[in-house]
Structure 1
Amino acid sequence: MMTNLFSSFDPMASLVSIQINWISTFLVTTIFFPMFWIFCSKANLMFSELTSYVTKEFIPLFKSYKNIIMFNVLFMFILINNLLGLMPYIFTSTAHIAVTLSMAMTLWLLFMIYGWVNNTNNMFTHLVPLGTPIILMPFMVLIESISNIIRPITLSVRLAANLTAGHLLLILMGESMVNSNFMIIISVSIAQFALITLETAVAVIQSYVFATLSTLYASEI
């Protein structure tokens, strides 16, 4: 029985001292890898269409396809986990701040270390936009530094908050049907189906936004 609204996001459900909720994160492998063993499967065709579209979006930012592979994998990983979270009794790992912040912080640290080691002058020039008056330069350096530091936080909170909000709304609508009459149950069920459709679009959009913003941050370096 649900004790509170956030119990569906609790990763502490355990079986034989193993946190089984986190296993849902690795369900990606059951969907992602087998489709390469089936010739012209529907999943393979859908994956090809998605990756080709995402690659076209990322090409203007990079000169090499090698840099795009990582962001394609990142996009597909977040997308499949977001969609799996819409299934009943599956823990939404990408709605947990521990997962999203870990991904965002890892990418941000990699970008920063690579940028400051290999493109030090370029990193300094980003702190002071072109045409900034001399008197405002110290303030611009402070503002740009803060905006750069909070990037992993905004990336992770944006993804987790959008997924959590939709799931909480579905839970609230489901609880409103308890001990209700037939007409209310039908009306709420129709509204839930519409909301699930919207949540599917949010799952796709948020995975695309996360991958695109990560690409933009990498292209600056």
Structure 2
Amino acid sequence: MMTNLFSIFDPSTNILNLSLNWLSTFIGLMFIPYSFWMIPNRHFIIWNFILNKLHNEFKTLLGTKISGSTFIFISLFSFILFNNFLGLFPYIFTSTSHLTISLSISLSLWLSFMIYGWLNNTQHMFIHMIPQGTPSILMPFMVLIETISNIIRPMTLAVRLTANMIAGHLLLTLLSSTGNNMYMYMLLILIFMQILLLILESAVAVIQSYVIAILSTLYSSEVN
């Protein structure tokens, strides 16, 4: 029974005192065996086409300095995409709607970029804090602003993903809870609206995973 609107995001639901909701994060592993089929099916061909497009785009943003670095961001895109889509199915916990997952991903990536940048390209990192053409009197303020904007990057990445996942699920829950006392013709309109919202949420699941991957790639390219 749903005690409040946010109970659908409660990860503490358990069976025999075992919290099993977080196991939904690993359901995406079921999609991996498709790539080992002797004859590639349509699913594998389409997915391989998407990954190749992402590889070419990330390679353009990152350059060719580190071979294979695009696979980090392709894996990030795939992981978030699977979890976003799985959250649209009934009775499957949406792990990306929690800062526990999203902040762990964004913070670990950001810390690795910062440690690598400050240890290997210290001068470049200092130069990046002051935009070209900044007057001398504004330089201290620009350094402060750039430092703050750099520090809040992992939080903005995590909150963007979490807020979008929560907002869509709450809207679907609110609309579905109003159908108990409706007439038949209103119920048909409600079902049609739910289908449209579900299509919109599917698009949001793809867009948010793409945005996280692209922004992470851009943040990585700044430290080189």
Residue in structure 2 matching 1:215, options 209, 214, 217? 217
Read off the aligned partner of 2:42 and give its amino acid letter.
K
The 5 Å alignment of 1:6-45 reads 6-31=6-31, 33-38=32-37, 39-45=39-45
RMSD: 1.0
Q: Number of aligned pairs?
A: 220
| Bigger Cα displacement from structure 2, 142-151 vs 61-70 | 61-70
- Residue matched to 1:170: 172
- Residue matched to 2:53: 53
Please give the alpha-carbon distance, in whole angstroms, between the structure 1 residues aligned to 2:134 and 2:106: 30
Please give the alpha-carbon distance, in whole angstroms, between the structure 1 residues aligned to 2:79 and 2:67: 19
CA deviation profile, 1:150-186 (whole Å, cap 9, x unmatched): 0000000001111111110000000010122111111
Read off the aligned partner of 1:193 and give its amino acid letter.
I
- Which 4+ residue blocks in structure 1 deviate beyond 4 angstroms? none
Q: Which structure 2 residue ranges, 5 or more long, are not aligned?
A: none
- Residue matched to 2:85: 83
Please give the alpha-carbon distance, in whole angstroms, between the structure 2 residues aligned to 1:202 and 1:177: 25
Quote how far apart the aligned CAs of 1:16 are: 2.2
Quote how far apart the aligned CAs of 1:18 are: 1.7
Read off the aligned partner of 1:186 and give its amino acid letter.
L
TM-score of the superposition, structure 2-length normalised? 0.96
- Residue matched to 1:67: 69
Q: Which structure 1 residue ranges, 5 or more long, are not aligned?
A: none
Is this contact kept in 2: 1:5–1:168, CA < 8 A?
yes
TM-score of the superposition, structure 1-length normalised? 0.97
Please give the alpha-carbon distance, in whole angstroms, between the structure 2 residues aligned to 1:65 and 1:182: 59
Please give the alpha-carbon distance, in whole angstroms, between the structure 2 residues aligned to 1:173 and 1:198: 14
Is this contact kept in 2: 1:59–1:65, CA < 8 A?
no
**Identity between Structure 1 and Structure 2 (%):** 51
